[in-house]
Structure formats: C-alpha cells, structure tokens
Structure 1
Amino acid sequence: MRFLQRSLRPVYAPLLHPKHTARIQLSNATPLPAWTRSFHASASWRALDLAYRLHDHNGDAKGDPIVIIHGLFGSKRNNQSVANAFARILSRPVYAIDTRNHGESPHDTTHNYTALADDVEAFLKKHDLKNATLIGHSMGAKTVMTLALRNPDSCANIIPVDNAPVDAALSSDFPKYAEGMKRVEQAKPKSQKEADKILEPYAKDLPVRQFLLTNLGRPEPSAPLKFRIPIQTLARSLDDMADFPFTNPDEVRFSKRALFIRGTKSPYVSDETLPIIGRFFPRFELVDIDSGHWVISEKPEEFIKAVVNFLQEKE
C-alpha cells in the first residue's frame, strides 16, 4: 500500500493562480448569492428530504457524526464499505446520503451546488447532527466545500476528495456517460447485458459501466429497465457541476480543518489549484493517493487510512 505523506500548505497564498482567474463563464449561470449564515434566507428552492443509510457498527458508534456524499451518477451504495470501516475504526456513526436526483432521494429540476448544499444543511438540522465531519467525492466534494463556506458553523471539518473550489471543465467523459445513459433509456433494454452493450461505446472501462448501471432498475415485473435517476436533468446540469459558487476568498473563508485528498492520476486537483484552496481553506492539508479520479473505489485502504489519521489527530 502506497501512502504519500500529507503536507500542510501555507495559510494564505499570495496570488490567485492565472488558471483560477481565467474562469469559465457560463451564459446561464445563476447570480452568486450573498454570503449569509443561513441558506434558507437566500435560497429560492425548497430543500429536499434526502435518503440515507446509517452505519453505526451495530449501535456501538457513539461519537460525533460523519456524513459522506457520493459523486455525480453515484449513490449511498458506493460508500458502504468505507462507511462501515469508519464506524468501526473511529466509533463514529456514518450517514451515507443520496443527493437530490440520485439514489432514493427525490428528483428536482434544479441541480447545482447551492441547492445540493442546502439539502445537506437541512439534513444536518433534521437529524440534529452537530460537530459533524463532511466527506464528499467529486460532486460531493464541491457540495461540502460550498456548505462549509456558506455556513462554517454547520460542521467541524471537511474532507473533499478529488475536487477543488474552482470553475473547471468536467472531464469529457461525463458528457459521454450522460449521452450513453440516454441511449440506454431510449433503447428500453430488457437485461443488464443488453444495457451494458449499448453503453460500451460511451464508457469503455467495464468498472465505470458497472458503476453507471447500478442506477438501472425495473419499475415493475417484465417492464424494460429504466434509470432511477433523471438523466435529462443531470445532463442539463453538467455546466453547473463544473462551476463553483464562490469566486472571492477574501469575502468568505472556512477557518476550520480541511483535508483534501486527490488522485495523482486525476486532473481535478492540479498543483495550480493549491493556492486558491489555501485561500478559501487556510488550514487545509493534502494527501496524494496513487489513483485516478475514483479514489475511494480504486484505493479504499489508502483512502481510509488518510481519513482516519486526519480525524484521530488532535486539533
């Protein structure tokens, strides 16, 4: 197992990196909301009641809660193994959630980071989860960063996995995945094998196809297979998933601990993004794991070790 040493980054980066200042401007981007302590005062949509699974090591996990959030096209099922490990090793209950438009959670035509984070804040309040650690991969990473910056009192610390607080184009794979999933749904396949064959030109790697096809189900006996998630809504939201709702770290900052975990073979957290991470999250630490973007599934043991080491450290 290869585990790369964490390194503490400078408190404030002196300058924004040019890559961050040359931000992607989206013609349909929503205006940036003013920073407030409460999402609900500025949100124009309703927070959705999120589905979740509690991992509490048969009731023995009594510590501060951990909330773990999947990435785009994922679900709470993706994080079962690591959630069980955290509950056992750390004796902390772990809530693996489905975000809006994913898994068993409700669907809504709005799918951006402010709405996603608003849902998570409502989840924390509903379940009275105080002093929580928020872990998120990819889409989930930007969701926990958004919530931490909007409401620093909502959590004790955050662990974003393979994403950075910048506007950056998604890998070209994600539009292909969305297109392939549309093709699958249009074909009304009768079997997983048939669906896999349709999806193969759009997702060459079998593990990725298997991941995407976990969203496929049969609404009723003998009916064609259909995706449980709203593919059209998520496809329309890809630009929003590339965006980040904050642009000025001089106005909003999360001064509690933050652990950024990145895959060294992934493009999403380049060295050029580290200065801006340091300005938004001045106490951030960094762990590099020898993997691609799917850090948790590719290197689960290294991921678990990094999180456990971070959370067992004293403030």
Structure 2
Amino acid sequence: MSFTLFPSRMARWVIPNVRSFSTSRVLRSDLSFQVFGPEKEEASRSPIVFLHGLFGSKQNNRSISKALARDLKRQVFIVDLRNHGQSFHSKEHNYTVMAEDVVKFIQQQSLGKGAKAAMTVALDSPDLVSALVPVDNAPVNAALKSDFGKYVRGMQRIEAENVTKQSDADKILQEYEEKEFFFQQALPIRQFLLTNLVRSPEDQTMKFRVPLSVIGASINNMADFPYRDHGAAQYHGPTLFVRGTRSRYVSDETIPAIKNFFPNAEVADVEAGHWLISENPEAFRQVVVKFLKDAP
C-alpha cells in the first residue's frame, strides 16, 4: 500500500509494549481494527500496530501482518485510521489528530509500549513506543509527488455520475491520470483507489467509503510533518526506515533530518519503488523480521 504517489505519506508502524485480545472490533474511539497472531498469554514479544497509508485501509496489510505475526510470534494489530476503512469520519484530518487517535487506541487496548502518523506518535509519546518502522517516508515537509487533487476530482466525478460498475469508475479515473509521469504506475494506482468503492444499498450506485470532501481539503496537510524544529522532540528507541531503491521519498538528503529526530535510526533498502510492501513483500519481511527480532 505504499507507492510513489501518496499512500505511504501516512504509512507507518507502532510497536507497543504489551498486547491485547484477538478479535476484530470497533472501539469507542471508532478506530476499527483486527488482530493476528497468538493469544496474549502465548505471545513471546510485544505486539505490533500496523498503520496504512492515505486512501488505504487495514485490509491492505492483512497478508504481511499474518506473515509477521507468524515469524515473530507477536500479535499484529491492523488499524483503520480516521476517515478510512470502517473507522469514523471527521472534518479534521491531519497527522496530529491521527496520532492522537492512535495514542488513544494504544491506551484503550492497554498496549503500553505509527510514515508520518506513527513518527508523530513516537515523538509525542515516546514512552508508548518500543520500536518504530516507518515505511518509505521521512520526517520532512515534502510535496506529494503527483497532482493528487486530480485523482480526488476524478473520484468525486465517479460519485456524481452514479456509476454502477467498477469498470465504468475505472474509465473515469483514467481521464485524471498524469500519463507522462505515471505511464507504468497508472493501473495499480487506479486499482488501489478503487478499493474504496462500495455499493450503495439504496440505489446500487458506487460510492467511496472515504469522505472525499474532507480528504481533498486536507491534501496539503499530508505533505507536511508536524515537527519543524529538529530539537523540539526526539525518539531514542530503535527505529528502522525502510525505503524503496526506486522511490524518491527517503533520499540521502533526508538522512540528517532522520538522525535529528530519531538518533538511533537505521536505514534499510528494498529493491522496489514506493509500493515496496506489495512490490517486494519477501525482502520487506526479511529486513523487518531481522530488525524486530532484536527489538524489545
């Protein structure tokens, strides 16, 4: 769910300290989640909370979460952030409030000990996080590498035209692509966005389960990082920045900022683009398992 466009602008992990139970449910915070792996009493290490990217959902991370739960013998929680998946909708949408939602989730689940939502959690509440793995993202302000507003307008047009087939929605979205830059990436991007389509029970037309007006108005927030001053906050726990070798989101120029915010950070390269989890899941699994085997 990370690609050279927008999703991993929010994609990140929180590694909490303690566990919780193992059913799918919605909490009072309205963050929908599901958990994989052993029961609390059988888990050998602290659990993992896996956060998706922009326009993603917990469903995007099911396969890799099952693999990590198996390999690490830890519980893995996959969560829908606000305005995504089955979680609540809100007019306020930025990394600060999303981080607050995740902190509340961790506290409600008694997990103790999320790229930017999870990095914000780690910097805001370092005692809650025992290790951190941001996926192809850096703690810097950076413009989204596409005219994402065009995609939002295309999605709004899909709803306005009351389409009843996903194929018709795909045809509309094709008209909003940056073909010169995304020629090879266009199909997977459209497929990813269209996973948010659901059928309205009232008239059987296709609607998006995410609030397009809210997300569209928040696009600029998704390019920002809440912390500007490198000395304002630091997270000293073990941190692994996993970046795609063909992605431009975690360039060598961002390493000083990474080290300023996360002094104990390491960087691991995976042969892939921005969608590294889906493009090269085995290489991603290997670097994360190696890192987390030594983490608390």
Tell me the residue number matched to 2:145: 171
Taking the aligned partners of 2:268 and 2:169, their CA distance within structure 1 comes to 37
Taking the aligned partners of 1:164 and 1:210, their CA distance within structure 2 comes to 26
Is the Cα contact below 8 Å between 2:247 and 2:274 reproduced in 1? yes
Tell me the residue number matched to 1:107: 89
CA distance 1:62–1:178, shift in 2 (3 Å): farther
CA deviation digits over 1:219-249, x for unaligned, max 9?
Answer: 2064211000001110110110001111112
Taking the aligned partners of 2:76 and 2:202, their CA distance within structure 1 comes to 34
- Counterpart amino acid of 1:110? E
Tell me the residue number matched to 2:9: none
- Counterpart amino acid of 1:235? G
Do structure 1's residue 244 and structure 2's residue 225 form an aligned pair? yes
CA deviation digits over 1:234-278, x for unaligned, max 9?
Answer: 011011000111111212111111100111211211111101110
CA distance 1:99–1:314, shift in 2 (3 Å): closer
Tell me the residue number matched to 1:202: 176
Tell me the residue number matched to 2:108: 126
Which residue of the other structure, out of 28, 34, 49, is the alignment partner of 1:67? 49
Greater alpha carbon shift after TM alignment, 195-204 vs 159-168? 195-204
SS in structure 2 at match of 1:161: coil
Taking the aligned partners of 2:187 and 2:232, their CA distance within structure 1 comes to 44
SS in structure 1 at match of 2:253: helix
SS in structure 2 at match of 1:52: strand
SS in structure 2 at match of 1:170: coil
Taking the aligned partners of 2:201 and 2:125, their CA distance within structure 1 comes to 42
Taking the aligned partners of 1:291 and 1:230, their CA distance within structure 2 comes to 31
CA distance 1:314–1:125, shift in 2 (3 Å): closer
Question: Mapping of 1:81-230 within 5 angstroms?
Answer: 81-131=63-113, 134=114, 141-203=115-177, 205-220=186-201, 222-230=203-211
SS in structure 1 at match of 2:87: coil
Taking the aligned partners of 2:112 and 2:45, their CA distance within structure 1 comes to 11
Question: Mapping of 1:27-66 within 5 angstroms?
Answer: 48-56=29-37, 61=43, 63-66=45-48
Greater alpha carbon shift after TM alignment, 255-264 vs 115-124? 255-264
Greater alpha carbon shift after TM alignment, 271-280 vs 194-203? 194-203
CA deviation digits over 1:114-157, x for unaligned, max 9?
Answer: 000000000000011123xx4xxxxxx10011111111101101
5+ residue gaps in structure 1?
1-46, 135-140
Question: Mapping of 1:215-294 within 5 angstroms?
Answer: 215-220=196-201, 222-294=203-275
Q: CA RMSD in A?
A: 1.7
TM-score (norm 2): 0.84
CA distance 1:275–1:304, shift in 2 (3 Å): same
Deviation of the 1:103 alpha carbon? 0.2
- Counterpart amino acid of 1:98? D
Deviation of the 1:206 alpha carbon? 1.7
CA distance 1:211–1:314, shift in 2 (3 Å): closer
Identity of aligned residues (%): 48
Tell me the residue number matched to 1:39: none
SS in structure 1 at match of 2:111: coil
5+ residue gaps in structure 2?
1-27, 178-182
Taking the aligned partners of 2:200 and 2:108, their CA distance within structure 1 comes to 30
CA distance 1:219–1:182, shift in 2 (3 Å): same
